[in-house]
Each structure stands twice: as structure tokens, then as C-alpha cells.
């Protein structure tokens, strides 16, 4: 477009616009970066929310969207005044604006009204999001300003938030008009913004009683309205004063405003430095001595607040202000980071050093030296104090939860690192000061989540924490030469990608390292499982009556002990024939699949032995007849259980077989080896091959059942998942389960052939007893070498396959049947 | 005719220095007034006071008949002001800043501004932040001149301008004065001032050392070189009403800048015993400036 054409366009489109429209356009445009950054940050939080929810699938930490929506208008209110006024004052554009025929009143009112319109828009947006996405409730507000963080049934909290944001907006304008230095004005805004809450706490302290939520809301509203009434006229007069002529410096008593001789001498003497780095450090101290003092003070205030909190057990009155004061330290750490590339570290100022050939590395180190020294001093103070105080709940709940020095160090490193990067990335001081703590908090929160929920390693954490430092170091030469853009955006994108993708990649690698089935293997096994599922009859439940589990009997102080004894005795007077009646059949081959409650095995085992002992201790010749029903019933139950496609039933069947084999091996049984009951037992006992086949069927059926039914609760144990990162359980579980299924299938085969390969045992052990030592576990060789009858668990399933492939499977009872005619 | 600018004992003390000490000035309409002074002489402070940005320690002033401390807006509406480092909204384009500024003035502003931009060959769609220092100065000048102010105040207006534009600009200043408008410029570019200024004042250490129409000053100040037979020979100074602005000795030669030198005084010196030769000529403005801004103790 030619110059004339462009001018023509301007003339036709802009000339008609009124000065008010132009003024509003200008002010709105100046607010745009703040709004844009807040929107980006809000979207980042929402995105993180989505990522975290996707990762942990409806469990774990969830960032509250509602509070984001409530807080962001407040952040806008915080930044609007300093941006519209403070920045213009610092860049001297306000002076140029003052040259135009605009009255001071119009100028200040336009700026405020634009900010107010922006705040209204922010609240409309927040309200729409809260209502549209159902983030809040029309009758409840979970987030209160001040007071306790809990649900309030009083919906009045929302208006308090809105009114408070208006108060912050006014206070922001007040400090921006009052204090020319943008950083100081923001620091001054903090106590001013919290003044109503401080007043509420003081009032609570005076009343000396806990305040109801509604009382807190009313008090906050009252003090906030009072604050508005005070700050509004103050802002107006301060603005008028600021827009007027600068006052002449006051004269001293001697009629002169000259500096003291000492000051003149100090300022007039050229400092001498011993090293090349010293002058830059000297410069960074002197250019921001006030800011550094304020930030060090904020850290100390937090430390004092922590000391006080660690010395008291309950918060009352003014002590309620202590927890918010703890936030001063992280905020100060963020601002220490921001200070690195602001003041004399800003691009315009370091150019002075670049023009004189000072190396970027030296400059970089020097700019970081003072903030890091302050941080180090703070850490040492914290570490020493932390060592000196008792950490138990009896003393102070706060003291018990104090982080270790290492934890705090990592946290501080992340905050500082992100903030100094933000400072180099965002040139505007005010935007850096607002944005850095938000970004640092988000990234610190993400890394904390990654570490605790995704199993992100400490090494990875350090890499992510130091990535922003590496980025600023890498960009330092270009930054000093003011040619860091647009590369800085590329590097910034890489840093963000690294910080967010490395934990995800690490988690993906962790998940991917778990072996799972190959696609064709899975398809084949699924086909096999489908056939099993289709061809197997549903097992019939066999209820082993006896002593019920104690946890099903409510504890009763007034119960009758006689009844308890009778109840216990009843537990040992069960009739085995009656119990197996649902599956009873004349021939073993006719016995249908059966299933039992695993706890009932204990009852069966006890009654079986009781009957056995009675027979062995009796003098009558026909005493064996009293034991035979148990042999017969156990054999039939075993056959029924082996046909079941539930793994727990296979485990029960294993135990029935162990019990029967042990019984048959006893000397007292030899005279009865030709008894029909004994022959029935021998016929019921399986072979390694038949057991292997039954187990394989059960494993596949159970796997298929889990895959096809969300609600099906399998009995397999997953204790080891407690040791996996919580956020990855949903991802790890299917692969671990497949790995487990493969190990069980392998185990079924290995057991048949009595293989010495125990890799499958290790996997099953890890799965069932994660954290335990394999060699001393029930899967270890020492335990497996012992007789199964002595080591098997009853009543409680502590893990599948503990009895698989052990000696009992290959035992040949002396009284084995000579024929299978018992069938 | 009432003066456009008057200052009465204007004094401004800062912590480290006295920026202005009892400055009395009167600037007539239809003139190009140049305030000369070395760096730190107090020129910018004076302009800040005249434009209502700074209150003086004492004294008073009026601009276009208005006290800038009482009604700074009234002053700013009537003047055009270009500072030495104009702070413009660097995120705006050249066209946008013109449109924005024009909205506060009458309809003649924008065409005038656009014409100036066209003359300076600046693309209107360029962002201010992407302009060179000289281009920024041109935009600032265009903005200050577009509403055709009766008084134009400029602080080092030509710094950053290329010679061609500088010449054109300076000629336009003469044209403005010819139409009855007043131009107040502060500078230490002697050659430029010499070319355009009607009236000058030389400020040194916050004090007005010299003030008056340029042609009168130039005619009234002479360089006087006196050669003697002996370097230690004492020579009496020219008598009243002559005023010695500066004096410098080198061997047997002594150089003086004298205001109000009369031919009889030169002859009297020539007749003084031991004086071998006396030469006198009208001083250049640069020589006057140096003479006025050189501290005697440093000679």
C-alpha cells in the first residue's frame, strides 16, 4: 500500500472517530497484553487440568477451575492501574499525553473507566464460564476471601469477591499514581489489597471467638466498602496531583538543597574493584538496592510467620493472618528472579556492558549473584531453624508438615528459575512482576504433580527446574545485543515444551517399559478365552456353612457369651454331604462346575480334620464310616471346583487336592485303600496336565471377563500398584495385568513340566507382594520346598499360584487306586 | 505587543545544583527565540517550567498570557512542544498516533499531519518502535506542528535529523515567525541558531549571561587581541560601558571578548605604553557563546 493510500484509509476511517473513542481505543489496547497473558495463563491451567485428569483418570489432584475464574478478575484489577498509569509514567508517554488538550480529570477518569469496563468484562466472562461449565453452585461458594478455606452455604461470597476486585482496582490506581516506581507500587499494593481481610482478622481477634462464614463475608464486605469509600477520593486527588507540575525540591534550613558532604564524597569518588565481576555485582546492588531490601524483608517476614506458626497449636484472632504471610517468601523469590533482567539487568542497560565488550557469561553470573546470595542466606536460615524445632503434631500441626530443606530448595529453584526466564522473555516490568509468580506457581505445581503423581525422577525435576536458567544463559549474548527476538520465542517454546513434555515422556517411557502382549498373541488368547467363556457352564455356588467371618458380626457389648460358644460349636458340626448337595452327583464326571467363597475353605479344612481325628481316635471298627462322607464330599467338590473358570476356585481346588493327597498319604488310610470313598478320591485327583489346563482356562476366562465387563471385580490382587505413581495406575494397570496374565499362563505351563524357570514366579510375586523379598516370600524357593499342607493359606487368598508346580503336584500316594472303577 | 513568554526571577534549585537563578526573560511574538547553553545549563528545566511540568523554587512566568502553573492545560492547548527525546507510544503506527492526536484538535490537524508525514517520506503503517531516531523526531515534529500553534517550543529539535531535513525544518521556522507565530528553541547548535534566530539568550549555570536580538548582539561584541612587549605587562581593561565577557592570555598576546566596545577605547589601548599592536573585529556567535559559557577561573 502506498503512503497516500494508507493516509487516505486513515483519514476515512479514523478522522470521524471522536477523541473519546480514540482514547478508549488507546487505553484498551494498552490493557490488551495483560488480558492476553491472563487468558493464556488461564488456558494453560485449564489445559493442565485436562492433562492431569486424562493422566490420572478421575482421581488425584484437580486444579480448581472455579477459583481460577474467581482469582483472575482480581489479577486483572491488580495489573490494570500499574499498567495504564505506572508504565506510562515510567516510559514518559504520560508526559506526552499531558501535552494534548486533555484535562487531568478526563485523563484519569478515562483510564479508570476503561479499567473498570475491563474488570466488568472479566467478571462477565468468569461468570459465564462458572455458570456455563457448572463450576460453581448458585447457592454455595467454596472459595472465600480470607477466613477458612471451606464450603460456605452462603452464596454471598461471590459479591464479596466482585466488590473486593473493585477495591483492588482502585488501590492499584492509587499506588500507581502515588508511586512512580512500578515495582514499589506493586509491593505497596499487596498490604493495601489485603487491608479489608486484615481488618476482618483483627476484628475477629477482638471478638475473641470463631467467626461464622456469613459473618466473615459481611465483615469483609463492610471493610471492603469502607476501603472503597476511602481509596476512591484518595486516588482522585493523588492522580490530579501527579498530573500537575512536579514540586520543586524543598530547601534546607540553610536555604540550600545541596547534598551532605559525605554523600557528595561517596557519590563523587570512583569505586575501585579487584575483579571483573565485582563492578557488575556492585551495579546490580546499587540499581535496585531498595527492591532487594524489600524482597529480603518479605522473605524474613515469611520466616517469622513460620516461626510463630510452628510455636502455636491453634490459630486465633490476628494469628489467622500468619498463613497468608507465608506466601510472601515465594512471591519474593519470584520477584528476585524477575529482578535479574530488570533494573540494570534490563536489555537497555546491559547494552552498556555489551558495548564495552563485557562477556555475556560474566554479566549473567553477576546479575544472578545477589539474588542467589539472598536465596542462599534464606535457605541457610530456614535449614538451621528447621533443625532446631520439634516436628510433632502435639507441638504444632504446622511444624509437623514443614518441608525439608531439599524440598524447599527445589521449590525455590523452580520459582526463581521460571521467574528470571519470564523476566528476560517479557520486557515490561509490570507484566513480568504479575506474570512471573503465576507462571512459576503453575510450573512448580506441574512439576510437583509430576514428581508425586507421575513418578517423575528427581534428576528430571532438576533438569526441568534448570531449563529456564539454561535458556536465559543461552540467550544472554543476543539479549545483551538486543537481538534476542524472535529466537527467544523459539527457545521459550522449547523450554515450555521440555517442562511439560519431559514428565509426560518419562511417564510414557515408564508405562512403555512394562511388557505387554503382542497384538497377534492377544488376538489368539482372546479367541481362546471366548471359546472357554462360551463352552463353560456357569459354576454353581456351594456355601460352606460354619463360623461366619468375624467382620460380618457386629461387635456387641451385651451379647450372650453362651450363645457365642454354641455358635462356635455349630461351626464344627457341618454336614459335608448337605453342603455339596447343589453339585452332588452319583458319578464324578456328572459333577457340575462349582464355586465357593474362599473364606469357607477354612471351615471345610477344620471340619475335615475334626472328622479325621475323630475317626483316628475312635476304637470302633466302623469309625472310618464317619469320615468317608468328608472324603467323598471333598472329592466331588474338588472336581466341581476344577471345572470352574474362576482363579479363586482353582486355588481352592489346589488346596482340596493338597488336603486329600496328604490324607491319603497317612498310614491310617492304607487299610482303607480299596474303600469306595478312597477310590473316589484317587479318581478326583488331577494330574499336572489336567491342572495346568484347568488353570489356563481360568486365567484366560478371568482376563476375558475383566476386559469385557467394567463392573466385574476380579479377585486378583494388585497390592503392587500402591507402589506405582498414583497418576499412572490407570495406564500401568492394563499392561501390568497383561504381564501378569502372561506370567500365570507361563506358570501353568511351567508347573506342568516341573520346570526350573522361575521368572514367572518373580512376576507373580512382584504383582502380589510388591515390596517384599522374593526369596522369603511364598513364591520363593525356600517356602516352595516345604510341604504344601504346612504352608498353604486358607480363608484368605494372599496371591495366586503359590501352590503351582510344587512337589504335591507330582506326589504318588502309596494308596493310589489300582483302578478307576470308582468313577 | 504583549510578550509571548515572560519570566520573572525564575529560580529552580535541585539537590545537586542550581538549575535556574533569577531568570528574567521576555520573548516577543513573531520571533524565533533561541535559548543557548551548554549541557546542564538549565535549558530543559526552563522549558519544563514553561510547559507546566515543573514548579519553580521561586519566581513566576507566563506563556501566551497564562501562568503554566495555574493552568497548564491552557498553555499546552496553545503551544506545540517537542522534547529532546520524545516519548511516543511505540506500539502505535505512524497513522494511528496521528489519528489519536488529531482527535483532540480540530479537523485541520490530520491533513496537516499527513502532509508532513508524506513530506518526510515516512510510511504511515510503520510502528513507532520500528522507526529510526530521526524518523521519530520527524513524527514528533509533525505532531507538534500539525495544529499550527501560536508558540512552538522545541528542545534540541534537530538532533537526529539528516542535514537535508534539518535545513528544510529550519527554513520553516523562519516562515512561521514571518506569519506572526513564535518559535522557542533550545539548542547548542550555534550554526543553526545563527541561521534562524531573531533573538537569543545564553544560559550559563542557570543564569542568563546574554539576551537580546541576534544582530544587535553580534554587532556589540568584539574580539580584541592585544600584543605587548612583555608578557608581564599590565594593561588596563576597557572602561565602562564596555563589559568584558571573557579574557585569555597566551605569551605576549591577550584575547578579550568585549561588549560595548567603542573605537575610542581601542585607540586608548593602542596608546598604552608597552602595547605593540591591537586588533579588533566583530565576534562570531560561536565565539560569543564560548565567551559567555567559559568560567573565568578556568582560564
Instruction: Pick the residue from chain B with its C-alpha nearest to A267.
Output: B16
What DSSP state is assigned to residue A643? Answer: H
What DSSP state is assigned to residue A596? Answer: E
- Domain extents in chain A: 1-245, 278-513, 519-810
Among A341, A216, A322, A239, which residue's Cα sits nearest to residue A284? A341
Position A754 scores a pLDDT of 84
In angstroms, the CA A753 to CA B193 distance is 111
- Measured between CB atoms, does B123 come within 8 Å of chain A? yes
Q: Is the dihedral of CA B26, B30, B36, B42 positive or negative?
A: positive
Q: What is the secondary structure of A63-126 as a DSSP string?
A: --HHHHHHHHHHHHHHHHHIIIIIHHHHHTHHHHHHHSS--HHHHHHHHHHHHHHHHHHHHHHH
* Beta-carbon count within 10 A of B156 CB: 18
- Measured between CB atoms, does B56 come within 8 Å of chain A? yes
Report the residue of A1, A2, A4, A7 to disrupt the B interface, i.e. the one with the largest count of B CBs within 10 Å: A7
pLDDT-derived band at A440 (thresholds 50, 70, 90) equals very high
Place of cell 554523600: A263
Greatest Cα pair distance in chain B? 74
One-letter-per-residue 3-state SS of chain B: CCCCEEEEEEEEECCCCEEEEEEEEEECCCCEEEEEECCCCCHHHHHHHHCCCECCCEEEEEECCECCCCCHHHHHHHEEEECCCCCCCCCCEHHHHHHHHHCCCCCCHHHHHHHHHHHCCCCCCCEHHHCCHHHHHHHHHHHHHCCCCCEEEEECCCCCCCHHHHHHHHHHHHHHHHCCCEEEEEECCHHHHHHHCCEEEEEECCEEEEEEEHHHHHHHEEEEEEEECCCCCCCCCCCCCCEEEEEEEECCEEEEEEECCCHHHHHHHHCCCCEEEEEEEECCHHHHHHHHCCCHHHC
Phi-psi region of A714 (alpha: psi -120 to 50; beta: other; left: phi over 0): beta
Bridge-based pairing state of the strands B5-13 and B58-63:
antiparallel
Of A10, A29, A245, the CB nearest to B95: A10
Tell me which chain B residues have a C-beta less than 8 angstroms from the C-beta of A106: none
Cβ B265 vs Cβ B235: under 8 Å? no
Report the residue of B14, B73, B107 to disrupt the A interface, i.e. the one with the largest count of A CBs within 10 Å: B73
ipTM of the prediction:
0.83
In angstroms, the CA A239 to CA A233 distance is 10
Position B298 scores a pLDDT of 42
Cβ B76 vs Cβ A99: under 8 Å? yes
Are the Cβ atoms of A15 and B110 closer than 8 angstroms? Answer: yes
Among B200, B211, B175, which residue's Cα sits nearest to residue B33? B200
Kindly give the interhelix angle for B109-119 and B94-102, rounded to the nearest 10 degrees: 150
CB < 8 Å from A in window 3-42 of B: 12-16
* Averaged pLDDT, A792-810: 85
pLDDT-derived band at A251 (thresholds 50, 70, 90) equals low
Position A561 scores a pLDDT of 73
Position A14 scores a pLDDT of 47
Q: pLDDT tens across A602-660, in order?
A: 888 888 988 888 888 887 777 888 899 999 999 999 999 999 998 889 999 999 999 99
In angstroms, the CA B96 to CA A679 distance is 105
Cβ B240 vs Cβ B187: under 8 Å? no
In angstroms, the CA B280 to CA B222 distance is 6
Cβ B171 vs Cβ B139: under 8 Å? no
Report how far apart the first and last C-alpha atoms of chain B are (Å, whole number): 42
Position A147 scores a pLDDT of 42
Are the Cβ atoms of B53 and A245 closer than 8 angstroms? Answer: yes
**Low-confidence winner among A123-137, A702-716, A724-738, B131-145 (lowest mean pLDDT):** A702-716
Among A502, A495, A497, A415, which residue's Cα sits nearest to residue A458? A502
Cβ B222 vs Cβ B258: under 8 Å? yes
- Measured between CB atoms, does A241 come within 8 Å of chain B? no
Among A417, A435, A418, which residue's Cα sits nearest to residue A426? A435
Position A771 scores a pLDDT of 66
Are the Cβ atoms of A98 and B76 closer than 8 angstroms? Answer: yes
Q: pLDDT tens across A347-382, in order?
A: 778 888 888 788 889 989 999 999 999 999 999 999
In angstroms, the CA A342 to CA B285 distance is 45
pLDDT-derived band at A559 (thresholds 50, 70, 90) equals low
Of A4, A26, A248, the CB nearest to B56: A248
- Measured between CB atoms, does A10 come within 8 Å of chain B? yes
Are the Cβ atoms of B72 and A244 closer than 8 angstroms? Answer: yes
Residues linked to residue B213 through DSSP beta bridges, in sequence order = B199
Q: Could you give the 3-state DSSP secondary structure of residue A540?
A: strand
Q: B214: distance to nearest CA of chain A, Å?
A: 30
Which range has the top average pLDDT, A75-89, A208-222, B160-174?
A: A75-89
Cβ within 8 Å of residue A188, ≥6 positions away:
A175, A178, A179
Query: Edge to edge, what strands does the sheet with B199-204 contain?
Result: B79-82, B151-155, B182-187, B32-37, B199-204, B207-213
Predicted model pTM: 0.74
Q: Which residue has the higher pLDDT, A258 or B191?
A: B191
* H-run or E-run covering A588: none
Are the Cβ atoms of B118 and A10 closer than 8 angstroms? Answer: no
In angstroms, the CA A800 to CA A648 distance is 8
- Binning chain A into helix, strand and coil, the percentages to the nearest 5 are 70, 0, 30
* Beta-carbon count within 10 A of A237 CB: 11
Q: B56: distance to nearest CA of chain A, Å?
A: 6
In angstroms, the CA A584 to CA A622 distance is 24
Are the Cβ atoms of A96 and B86 closer than 8 angstroms? Answer: yes
Which range has the top average pLDDT, A582-586, A681-685, A767-771, B14-18?
A: A681-685
Burial class (CB in 10 A: 0-12, 13-18, 19+), A762: middle
Are the Cβ atoms of A246 and B55 closer than 8 angstroms? Answer: yes
Averaged confidence pLDDT in chain A: 82
DSSP H helical segments within A402-457, as ranges? 405-425, 429-453
* Beta-carbon count within 10 A of B104 CB: 17
* Beta-carbon count within 10 A of B70 CB: 12
Position B73 scores a pLDDT of 83
Are the Cβ atoms of B54 and A100 closer than 8 angstroms? Answer: no
Confidence check: pLDDT of A156 > 60 = no
Are the Cβ atoms of A245 and B77 closer than 8 angstroms? Answer: no
Which range has the top average pLDDT, A231-235, A351-355, A769-773, B278-282?
A: A231-235
Position A374 scores a pLDDT of 95
Among B187, B205, B229, B190, which residue's Cα sits nearest to residue B297? B205
Q: Could you give the 3-state DSSP secondary structure of residue A554?
A: coil
pLDDT-derived band at A293 (thresholds 50, 70, 90) equals very high
Cβ A777 vs Cβ A742: under 8 Å? no
Q: List b or e across A559-584, with b for residues whose CB sees 16 or more CB atoms inside 10 angstroms.
A: eeeeeeeeeeeebeebebeebbeebb
Q: pLDDT tens across B103-158, in order?
A: 888 889 999 999 999 988 899 999 998 898 888 888 998 999 999 899 999 888 77
C-alpha Rg value of chain A to the nearest Å = 39
- Measured between CB atoms, does A265 come within 8 Å of chain B? no
Are the Cβ atoms of A10 and B117 closer than 8 angstroms? Answer: no
Position A9 scores a pLDDT of 47
Amino acid at each position: 500500500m502506498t503512503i497516500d493510500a494508507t493516509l487516505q484509509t486513515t483519514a476515512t476511517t479514523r478522522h470521524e472517530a471522536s477523541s473519546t473513542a480514540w482514547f478508549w481505543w488507546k487505553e484498551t489496547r494498552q490493557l490488551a497484553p495483560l488480558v492476553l497473558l491472563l487468558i493464556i495463563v488461564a488456558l494453560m491451567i485449564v489445559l493442565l487440568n485436562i492433562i492431569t485428569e486424562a493422566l490420572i483418570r478421575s482421581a488425584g489432584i484437580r486444579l480448581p477451575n472455579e477459583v481460577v475464574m474467581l482469582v483472575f478478575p482480581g489479577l486483572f484489577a491488580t495489573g490494570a492501574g500499574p499498567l495504564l498509569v505506572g508504565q506510562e509514567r515510567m516510559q514518559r508517554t504520560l508526559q506526552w499525553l499531558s501535552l494534548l488538550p486533555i484535562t487531568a480529570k478526563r485523563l484519569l477518569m478515562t483510564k479508570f473507566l476503561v479499567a473498570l469496563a475491563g474488570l466488568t468484562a472479566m467478571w462477565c466472562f468468569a461468570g459465564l464460564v462458572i455458570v456455563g461449565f457448572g463450576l460453581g453452585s448458585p447457592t454455595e461458594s467454596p472459595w472465600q476471601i480470607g477466613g477458612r478455606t471451606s464450603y460456605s452455604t452462603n452464596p454471598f461470597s461471590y459479591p464479596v469477591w466482585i466488590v473486593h476486585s473493585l477495591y483492588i482496582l482502585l488501590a492499584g490506581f492509587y499506588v500507581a499514581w502515588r508511586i512512580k516506581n512500578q515495582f514499589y507500587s506493586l509491593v505497596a499494593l499487596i498490604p493495601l489489597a489485603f487491608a479489608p481481610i486484615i481488618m476482618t482478622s483483627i476484628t475477629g481477634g477482638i471478638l475473641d471467638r470463631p467467626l461464622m462464614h456469613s459473618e466473615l463475608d459481611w465483615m469483609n464486605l463492610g471493610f471492603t466498602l469502607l476501603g472503597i469509600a476511602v481509596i476512591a477520593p484518595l486516588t482522585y486527588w493523588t492522580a490530579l496531583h501527579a498530573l500537575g507540575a512536579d514540586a520543586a525540591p524543598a530547601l534546607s534550613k540553610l536555604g540550600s538543597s545541596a547534598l551532605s558532604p559525605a554523600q557528595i564524597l561517596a557519590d563523587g569518588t570512583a569505586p575501585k574493584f579487584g575483579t571483573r565481576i565485582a563492578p557488575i555485582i556492585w551495579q546490580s546492588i546499587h540499581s535496585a538496592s531498595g527492591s532487594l531490601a524489600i524482597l529480603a524483608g518479605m522473605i524474613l517476614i515469611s520466616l517469622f510467620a513460620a516461626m510463630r506458626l510452628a510455636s502455636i497449636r491453634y490459630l486465633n484472632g490476628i494469628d489467622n493472618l500468619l498463613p497468608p504471610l507465608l506466601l510472601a517468601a515465594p512471591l519474593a523469590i519470584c520477584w528476585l528472579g524477575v529482578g535479574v533482567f530488570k533494573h540494570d539487568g534490563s536489555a537497555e542497560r546491559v547494552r552498556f556492558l555489551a558495548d564495552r565488550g563485557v562477556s555475556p557469561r560474566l554479566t549473567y553470573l553477576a546479575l544472578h549473584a545477589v539474588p542467589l546470595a539472598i536465596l542462599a542466606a534464606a535457605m541457610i536460615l530456614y535449614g538451621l531453624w528447621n533443625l532446631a524445632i520439634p516436628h510433632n503434631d502435639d507441638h504444632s500441626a504446622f511444624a509437623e508438615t514443614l518441608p525439608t530443606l531439599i524440598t524447599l530448595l527445589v521449590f525455590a529453584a523452580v520459582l526463581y528459575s521460571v521467574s528470571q526466564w519470564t523476566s528476560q522473555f517479557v520486557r515490561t516490568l509490570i507484566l513480568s512482576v504479575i506474570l512471573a509468580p503465576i507462571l512459576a506457581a503453575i510450573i512448580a505445581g506441574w512439576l510437583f504433580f509430576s514428581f508425586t503423581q507421575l513418578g517423575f525422577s528427581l534428576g528430571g525435576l532438576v533438569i526441568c527446574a534448570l531449563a529456564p536458567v539454561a535458556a536465559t544463559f543461552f540467550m544472554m549474548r543476543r539479549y545483551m545485543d538486543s537481538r534476542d527476538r524472535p529466537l527467544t520465542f523459539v527457545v521459550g517454546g522449547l523450554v515450555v515444551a521440555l517442562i511439560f513434555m519431559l514428565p509426560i515422556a518419562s511417564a510414557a517411557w515408564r508405562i512403555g517399559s512394562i511388557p505387554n502382549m503382542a497384538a497377534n498373541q492377544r488376538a489368539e488368547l482372546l479367541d481362546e478365552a471366548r471359546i472357554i467363556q462360551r463352552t463353560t457352564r456357569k459354576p454353581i455356588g456351594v456355601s460352606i456353612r460354619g463360623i461366619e467371618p468375624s467382620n460380618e458380626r457386629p461387635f456387641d457389648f451385651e451379647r450372650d457369651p453362651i450363645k457365642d460358644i454354641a455358635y462356635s460349636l455349630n461351626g464344627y458340626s457341618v454336614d459335608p454331604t448337605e453342603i455339596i448337595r447343589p453339585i452332588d452327583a452319583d458319578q464324578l464326571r456328572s459333577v457340575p462346575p462349582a464355586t465357593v467363597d474362599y473364606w469357607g475353605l477354612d471351615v471345610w479344612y477344620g471340619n475335615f480334620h475334626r472328622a479325621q481325628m475323630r475317626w483316628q481316635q475312635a476304637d470302633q471298627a466302623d469309625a472310618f464310616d464317619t469320615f468317608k462322607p468328608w472324603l467323598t464330599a471333598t472329592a466331588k467338590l474338588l472336581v466341581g471346583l476344577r471345572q470352574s473358570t474362576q482363579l479363586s476356585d482353582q486355588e481352592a481346588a489346589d488346596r482340596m487336592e493338597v488336603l486329600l493327597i496328604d490324607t491319603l498319604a497317612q498310614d491310617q488310610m492304607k487299610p482303607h485303600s480299596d474303600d469306595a470313598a478312597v477310590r473316589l478320591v484317587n479318581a478326583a485327583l488331577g494330574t499336572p496336565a489336567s491342572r495346568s489346563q484347568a488353570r489356563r482356562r481360568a486365567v484366560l476366562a478371568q482376563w476375558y471377563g475383566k476386559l469385557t465387563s467394567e463392573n466385574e471385580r476380579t479377585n486378583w490382587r494388585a497390592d503392587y500398584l500402591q507402589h506405582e505413581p498414583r497418576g499412572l495406575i490407570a495406564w500401568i494397570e492394563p499392561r501390568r495385568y497383561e504381564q501378569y496374565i502372561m506370567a500365570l499362563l507361563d506358570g501353568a505351563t511351567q508347573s506342568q513340566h516341573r520346570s526350573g524357570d522361575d521368572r514367572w514366579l518373580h512376576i507373580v510375586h512382584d504383582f502380589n507382594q510388591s515390596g517384599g523379598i522374593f526369596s522369603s516370600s511364598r513364591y520363593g524357593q525356600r517356602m516352595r520346598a516345604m510341604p504344601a499342607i504346612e504352608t498353604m493359606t486358607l480363608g484368605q487368598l494372599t496371591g495366586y499360584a503359590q501352590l503351582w508346580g510344587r512337589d504335591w503336584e507330582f506326589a504318588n500316594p502309596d494308596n493310589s487306586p489300582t483302578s478307576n472303577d470308582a468313577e | 505587543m504583549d510578550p509571548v513568554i515572560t519570566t520573572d526571577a525564575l529560580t529552580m534549585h535541585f539537590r545537586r545544583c542550581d538549575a535556574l537563578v533569577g531568570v528574567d526573560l521576555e520573548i516577543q511574538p513573531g520571533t524565533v527565540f533561541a535559548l543557548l547553553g551548554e549541557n546542564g545549563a538549565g535549558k530543559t528545566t526552563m522549558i519544563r517550567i514553561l510547559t507546566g511540568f515543573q514548579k519553580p523554587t521561586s519566581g513566576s512566568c507566563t506563556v501566551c498570557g497564562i501562568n503554566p502553573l495555574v493552568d497548564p492545560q491552557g498553555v499546552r492547548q496553545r503551544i506545540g512542544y517537542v522534547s529532546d527525546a520524545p516519548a511516543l507510544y511505540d506500539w502505535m503506527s505512524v497513522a494511528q498516533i496521528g489519528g489519536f492526536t488529531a482527535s483532540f484538535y480540530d479537523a485541520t490537524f490530520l491533513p496537516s499531519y499527513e502532509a508532513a508525514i508524506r513530506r518526510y517520506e515516512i510510511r504511515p503503517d510503520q510502528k513507532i518502535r520500528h522507526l529510526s531516531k530521526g524518523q521519530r523526531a520527524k513524527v514528533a515534529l509533525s505532531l507538534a506542528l500539525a495544529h499550527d500553534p501560536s508558540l512552538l517550543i522545541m528542545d534540541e529539535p534537530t538532533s537526529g535529523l539528516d542535514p537535508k531535513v534539518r535545513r528544510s525544518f529550519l527554513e520553516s521556522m523562519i516562515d512561521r515567525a514571518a506569519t506572526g507565530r513564535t518559535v522557542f528553541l533550545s539548542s547548542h547548535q550555534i550554526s543553526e541558531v545563527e541561521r534562524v534566530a531573531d533573538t537569543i539568550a545564553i544560559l550559563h549555570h542557570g543564569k542568563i549571561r546574554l539576551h537580546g536580538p541576534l544582530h544587535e548582539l553580534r554587532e556589540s561584541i568584539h574580539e580584541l587581541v592585544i600584543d605587548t612587549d612583555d608578557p608581564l605587562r599590565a594593561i588596563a581593561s576597557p572602561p565602562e560601558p564596555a563589559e568584558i565577557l571573557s579574557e585569555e592570555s597566551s605569551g605576549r598576546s591577550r584575547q578579550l571578548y568585549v561588549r560595548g566596545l567603542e573605537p575610542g577605547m581601542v585607540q586608548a589601548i593602542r596608546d598604552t605604553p608597552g602595547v605593540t599592536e591591537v586588533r579588533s573585529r566583530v565576534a562570531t556567535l560561536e565565539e560569543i557563546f564560548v565567551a559567555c559559557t567559559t568560567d573565568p577561573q578556568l582560564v
